[in-house]
Structure 1
Amino acid sequence: MYQSRSRLVIAAAVLVLTAACGQAGSAGTTGSGDADVTAARDLATKLENPLSGYPLPTAELTRTASLRGKTVYYVPVTQQAPQFTVTANALKDALTAAGLTLQVCNGGSNPSQISACVSQATAANAGAVITDSIPYALAANALNAARAKGIPVLVTDQIPDPAHPADATLGYVQGAGGDMLRAVADWIIADSGGTAKVLINQSTDSPSTVSYVEQAKQEFSGKCPGCTVVVNPISSANYSLIASSTSSAVLRNPGVNYVVSEFDQYLQPTLQGVQQSGRMSSIKGVSTAAQLSGLQMLAAKNFLHVDAGQGSAYQGWVSADAALRLMLKEPLPTYTIPLRLFTRDNVGSVEVTAAAEASGAWFGPTDYPQRFKTLWGVAA
């Protein structure tokens, strides 16, 4: 029952964005003129390299001692996606360093469950509430109640909601969702020489996930008129149907040679769907939100050819920094969550382990926790 309600609530929010952006399920050639393969290749190649350093804020926090003992609630849309565990663990380490504690409450891809998590935080007089990949509108009443009680809310991995603009009690950290999909679009354009036929498994879980795919389509449209893009809508609520949906979409679109799973969360059923279609040998797998399982698949040369990842561990420390600033009524800086393209060519230079993922070593130097502690005045 909750799945039907979840789909209805989310679909209502997505419908607004879809109407503005055009029909997401459309197929066809994406533009006119010559393919800009060189520009796409240059952008993709640049993103295959690790960072020289993480982009920390510069403004120091001098009153973090006043927050000691407070509890911050972290509400991911679902704990089904491994990236939220990575972020939660880093967030816990960061808050512990500042003298605070973390309470994780699984949203379960269910509006009622998400609202219940926020209400639990409000009843417990939490220091702050951090949501991850949850549209504000999905739990607006509960989030409004938290803010009315003086509990700041941080919305992460979502585009800002114009109906709920940032203020002293509400902040946004957008993440790299759109950037990751534009990056894999550039990789596909370059890899195909400007002739790709692409199927994208697009999550309809929020307006943000729809927006990310729109950004990828615009990248194809601007740089690859010879490319064709087809969108196959999927959702967390219908997870068990993703494989059959993927297979049907591949068979409906002969010649598809790239299949994109919007996130690694959907990578396994996407792979199963391609296998069921019988066209595994002619299709290259693509994904974003790279996690350990995705890099293992890359290293094994199993279906996946490129996976864009964002620094999930670093995002945990960024979320802690933003929550501390909101609690201290300090302005939020502009945060950048870094991304990297992992391919079959560069994955051999990456330590494909849970420890390396948790440390942030996949993306660059691992000194950012100490740098955050110094910024907060809590360095040992």
Structure 2
Amino acid sequence: MKIFSPLRLAACGLLLTLAACSDPAAAPAGSTAPNDSGTDTSAATAAVTAAKAPQTTWTGPTTPVTPPAGRRIVAITCGSQGYGCVQGARGVAAAGQVVGWDVSIVDGKGDPSVWNAAVTQAVTDRADGIVLAAINPALVQDGLAKAKAAGVPVVVQFIPELPGAKVDAHVTTDHLAGGKTLADWVIADSGGQAKVLLLEEPAFPELVRRNDGIRAQLQASCPGCTIVSTTKFSIGTMVQQLPGLVTTALQSHPEITHILAPFDSSGTFAAQGIRQAARKVALVSGEGDPDGLTRLRKGEQAADLATVPAWAGWAAVDQLARLFTGAAVQPHVLPQRLFTADNVPAEQGSWRGDLDYAAQFSKLWGK
């Protein structure tokens, strides 16, 4: 999805901060001392610097496994609107080629009834394994019950482990830590005086958890920061509704300095709302989609917390291989990296990670 026209805002694009438009990680020495709000932003600035650095530590499994050949896998996406879940499924297909598996991708169309039907159909078609890309297991319990009865393992991407419906393995990021990172950037960028509009998509637990991390860090570390408004929306209707919701919030709260969108596709429509309101605010979002990083390059967005959704596909294949062979499943926490205008990759597209995860997995699989 693309922004339909560029933002025509002067000077610092969408950025409006109380400490000018410079990157907080590059702030001059002494600029993070306690201010009138009583907030010492030095810890937040240090955290931002670390989050922006290359993430080169391998956090995946270290024990080799030999994937059995000839397995049939069905990867079900949350829908076609979410870049992350689509790329997560495509990562399953790419890794499947390496190990000789037949991978089918099903568009979940953003509809829990379609998700459940797709899981049930995969079991009926005698799939050997199922991958759910950003689909809450609690919303496909009927299908999961059929998969369990048939002995078909299920791996979930991006969703944290939750009480209730159980699956065989998870591949995800540390969403609470990601929320803390975003909050630290806002704290440092605003000099500890941010007035925040927080956008919420409550249907996705990982997004809820990230926003929980944002709230907790702002409350704990920034007495001068305030979430002045929250706006709920749905991924299924954000194209039509989110720009207007953001415009209304900005008109109702002229004090807003920062908008936090939960994922980059939603950031596209938040940016439209900012443009319609003719305001200068700092737009922040997550996941590192091509559109989000493009906005960073153009000065139309202030920060983006990126992950590598295709990496989750390779990790899911590794977990399925271990489930098929009876080996212990090894947890895999996907890396995250914070990007701003000064460290965003020059090449177009999404962040591909700072190490060759495909080579790491291929070595583990003896390929």
TM-score for the superposition, normalised by structure 1: 0.82
Any conservation in 1 of the 2:246–2:270 contact (CA below 8 Å)? Answer: yes
Structure 1: distance between partners of 2:41 and 2:198: 20
Structure 2: distance between partners of 1:296 and 1:352: 10
Corresponding residue for 1:76? 77
Consecutive unaligned residues of structure 2, counting only runs of 5 or more, are 1-36
The code of the aligned residue for 1:99 comes to G
Structure 2: distance between partners of 1:262 and 1:234: 11
Q: After superposition, give the CA deviation of every residue in 1:40-94 in whole Å (9 maximum; x if it has no partner).
A: 11111101111224323111113x2xx3111111112112122233323322121
Any conservation in 2 of the 1:134–1:155 contact (CA below 8 Å)? Answer: yes
Determine if the alignment matches structure 1 residue 251 to structure 2 residue 246. no
Corresponding residue for 2:275? 275
Structure 1 residue 176, shift from structure 2 partner: 4.0
Corresponding residue for 2:203? 205
Determine if the alignment matches structure 1 residue 144 to structure 2 residue 141. no
Any conservation in 1 of the 2:303–2:339 contact (CA below 8 Å)? Answer: yes
Structure 2: distance between partners of 1:36 and 1:332: 42
Corresponding residue for 2:186? 188
**1:275-314 alignment, distance < 5 Å:** 275-279=275-279, 281=280, 283-302=281-300, 304-314=301-311
**1:2-13 alignment, distance < 5 Å:** none
Corresponding residue for 1:13? none
Determine if the alignment matches structure 1 residue 353 to structure 2 residue 351. no
Structure 2: distance between partners of 1:220 and 1:173: 27
Corresponding residue for 1:231? 230
Q: After superposition, give the CA deviation of every residue in 1:334-365 in whole Å (9 maximum; x if it has no partner).
A: 21100001101112xx13323x74xx2xx302
Structure 1 residue 36, shift from structure 2 partner: 4.0
Structure 1: distance between partners of 2:147 and 2:166: 16
Corresponding residue for 1:4? none
Corresponding residue for 1:57? 61
Task: Spell out structure 1 runs of 4+ moving beyond 6 A.
Answer: none
Distance 1:36 1:106, change over 3 A: farther
**1:64-143 alignment, distance < 5 Å:** 64=67, 67-143=68-144
Any conservation in 2 of the 1:176–1:310 contact (CA below 8 Å)? Answer: no
Any conservation in 2 of the 1:156–1:175 contact (CA below 8 Å)? Answer: no
Q: After superposition, give the CA deviation of every residue in 1:5-61 in whole Å (9 maximum; x if it has no partner).
A: xxxxxxxxxxxxxxxxxxxxxxxxxxxx94241111111110111122432311111
As a proportion of its length, which structure holds more helix?
1
Any conservation in 1 of the 2:137–2:166 contact (CA below 8 Å)? Answer: no
The code of the aligned residue for 1:87 comes to G
Consecutive unaligned residues of structure 1, counting only runs of 5 or more, are 1-32
The code of the aligned residue for 1:124 comes to D
CA RMSD after TM alignment: 1.7
* 1:48 alignment partner, one of 49, 52, 59: 52
Any conservation in 1 of the 2:312–2:334 contact (CA below 8 Å)? Answer: yes
Identity of matched residues, %:
26
Q: After superposition, give the CA deviation of every residue in 1:183-202 in whole Å (9 maximum; x if it has no partner).
A: 11110101111000011111
Structure 1: distance between partners of 2:234 and 2:245: 11
SS in structure 1 of the partner of residue 259 of structure 2:
strand
SS in structure 1 of the partner of residue 330 of structure 2:
coil
Structure 1: distance between partners of 2:327 and 2:38: 48
Corresponding residue for 1:153? 154
Any conservation in 2 of the 1:181–1:288 contact (CA below 8 Å)? Answer: no
Any conservation in 2 of the 1:73–1:126 contact (CA below 8 Å)? Answer: yes
Report the number of matched residues: 329
Corresponding residue for 2:338? 341
Q: After superposition, give the CA deviation of every residue in 1:145-194 in whole Å (9 maximum; x if it has no partner).
A: 1111000011221121212345xxx2122324333322111101011110
Determine if the alignment matches structure 1 residue 373 to structure 2 residue 362. yes
Any conservation in 2 of the 1:287–1:307 contact (CA below 8 Å)? Answer: yes
SS in structure 2 of the partner of residue 236 of structure 1:
coil
* 1:39 alignment partner, one of 7, 23, 43: 43
Structure 1: distance between partners of 2:205 and 2:333: 21
Any conservation in 2 of the 1:133–1:158 contact (CA below 8 Å)? Answer: yes
Structure 1 residue 143, shift from structure 2 partner: 1.2
